[in-house]
Amino acid sequence: MAQIRITGNPNLRLEGKVRISGAKNAVLPAIAASLLTREKLRLKNVPLVKDVYTILTLMKEMGAEYSIRRNSITLQSRDILHEEASYELVRAMRASILVLGPLLARRGKAIVALPGGCAIGSRPIDLHIHGLEKMGATISLQHGYIQAEAKKLRGTEIRFEKKTVGGTENLLMAAALAEGETVLKNCSLEPEVINLCDLLKKMGARIEGIGQETIRVMGVAELGGATHEIIPDRIEAGTFLVAGALTGGNIVLTKTQPKHLTSIIDKLRLSGADISLINSQTIRIRGSENIRPQDITTSPYPGFPTDMQAQFSVLMTQARGTSIITETIFDRRFSHINELLRLGANIDVSGDKAVVKGKTPLSGAEVLATDLRASASLVLAGLIASGETVINDAEHLERGYEGMEEKMQALGAIIELSH
């Protein structure tokens, strides 16, 4: 069981440079997209995090070959020998559901375990299934598995009842090889969706409306290989920006995409942080002694990301006043709050709102990580808590942050990850 030990310091000032890794939530659909072609896909700027190894295990089970050289992966699915994504793998990482669309498009068949719930909510996939059925797939749920078949997916018009990143990605990949035109309406606008569209276009897909809510895809007979750069991880960047704001620090983030961080930067500036753009890939944050409370409501991109909600709530424990955090995307994304209370935070949860009262000094304690972003929030809290914080089940952090321990150490944190 992985464990993180942090020697916290209420007067800690994180200072230095941190290079942002590639985005986990961009590389996972890109790896799934390799199922759409027999040719080689070369992905660069890949974060070597646990979720990447999990989906590579799934790809290998299906018959794909891959090689990793530093932060590049070369993948090839010459033949798909096995169209099944097992419960064991899907339970380990629900993003495995992203193979459903590509498998149906390439092979006309897919057996994918239902992802089930997780610490942040019920995580249904009804919108994925509804869209694929509209494209002509026959889908049944048996023994906890999605059994899907489609001789040939047919283009049609699909409107997502609500914004779904994974649903948009699955249907984009399915539409790329479907017969005729698919019009997807109410698409997610996240940068990771755009990065996937850019990859599909490089592979030969015919897509119009990239970055808009309506995307038109004209199916083609087959797709080719491509070389593609994964965008920087905007949530990792946001996490380090919060670390800078929290510690009154002075941190330069390199290899990042400031234009993806607008909603996060706006809120951090309103809370008192000084953030300056150094160039198109570099930003500096100087934290303020006096952190001002901010109300945030999570919403689909370009709104404030749900994946930054836990981290921002830690910052608000140090603000002078009351902040109201409203989580609108997931139905249970406050599991980090109970752990923050153990560290001395003053937070009341009721329904979709967490009311954070600050400024409360935090004191180190033993806490439990429940999911990826919750574990990041516990690291942030541990940095400024007096005394030692021990975070158990720290595997959650390794799922989506590449070298968090080393990056924080380089900025002056006293943090150790052990297995």
- State the residues that interact with ligand EPZ by CB under 6 A: 25, 28, 95, 121, 123-128, 162, 164-167, 192, 306-307, 329-330, 372-373, 400
Q: Tell me whether residue 373 or residue 407 sits nearer to ligand EPZ (CB atom).
A: 373
Q: How far is the CB of 321 from ligand EPZ (least distance, A)?
A: 28
Q: How far is the CB of 157 from ligand EPZ (least distance, A)?
A: 18
118 is catalytic: yes
Q: Distance (Å, rounded) from C-alpha 123 to C-alpha 319? A: 32
Annotated catalytic residue within 92, 118, 119, 341: 118
Q: Tell me whether residue 100 or residue 291 sits nearer to ligand EPZ (CB atom).
A: 100
Q: How far is the CB of 120 from ligand EPZ (least distance, A)?
A: 6
Residue nearest to ligand EPZ (CB): 166
Quote the strand ranges of 340-379, DSSP E.
346-350, 353-358, 366-368
Taking a C-beta distance cutoff of 8 angstroms, is the pair 112, 96 a contact?
yes
Q: Distance (Å, rounded) from C-alpha 75 to C-alpha 29? A: 13
Q: Tell me whether residue 167 or residue 232 sits nearer to ligand EPZ (CB atom).
A: 167
Q: What is the DSSP letter of 334?
A: -
Q: Tell me whether residue 319 or residue 380 sits nearer to ligand EPZ (CB atom).
A: 380
Q: How far is the CB of 391 from ligand EPZ (least distance, A)?
A: 17
Of 414, 418, 399, nearest in space to 52 by CA: 399
**Local structure of 387: helix, strand or coil:** strand
Q: How far is the CB of 287 from ligand EPZ (least distance, A)?
A: 24
309 exposure class (CB count in 10 Å sphere: 0-12, 13-18, 19+): buried
Q: Distance (Å, rounded) from C-alpha 59 to C-alpha 42? A: 15
Which tokens sit at 323? 């902040």
Of 383, 392, 267, 293, nearest in space to 346 by CA: 293
Q: Tell me whether residue 188 or residue 248 sits nearer to ligand EPZ (CB atom).
A: 188
Of 175, 178, 182, 113, nearest in space to 148 by CA: 113
Question: Which residues are identified as catalytic?
Answer: 118
